Structure 1
Amino acid sequence: MMAKDDRIIELLDSLDLQRRGWLVVDHWEADTCAIGIARASEPRRLVYVGIFGKEYGRYDYECELPSGPAVTDYVATGRGDGVTCDELLEVLMKHLG
């Protein structure tokens, strides 16, 4: 089990990642309040989700696309602050397919 805040674990459990063809990408293992969710077939196309300083059920996100050969080469294509789970799910579906 990941060492993440319970709210991150609850979010991941609610998203049914496998059915959607998504996976967890954890470039931030030390950050217990953040996680990456990616398309399984394209793991560098991801949505970074954070909950630090947020009230229960609210999330920050950043949509990212690769912009070069290194894992750290990316461009942000969208951001949101304090969105609901339903709003986050819409973003995930749009960005990850």
Structure 2
Amino acid sequence: MAGACSMICLIIITIFIPPLGVFLTAGCGVDFWINVLLTILGYFPGHIHAFYLEYVYYHRRKQDPMTRATQRPAPGIYSDRVQNGGHSNRNYGTI
């Protein structure tokens, strides 16, 4: 239930301010600055980019770790956090 509520809040934030939605999902990296530029160039391209990032993030968040590890990176996304669905790629305790 908490995951659905946070997703709905993120969608509402992204509708009004696309770069803020990207910042909350991907952090302050290349994806954020690309979205700021797209939003300045036109409000609609900023929305497309923001919702694409959020879709990939939540889609990969639901996958099991083995599927995520073998999957190719999503095109046009530079944030490891989004590519991994918010999960770490590190395997602690393994050699």
Give the TM bin, normalised by the shorter chain.
Answer: under 0.3
Larger helix proportion of the pair: 2
TM-score with structure 2 setting the length: 0.26
TM-score with structure 1 setting the length: 0.26
Larger strand proportion of the pair: 1
Q: Which has the higher contact order (CA 8 A, sep 6+)?
A: 2
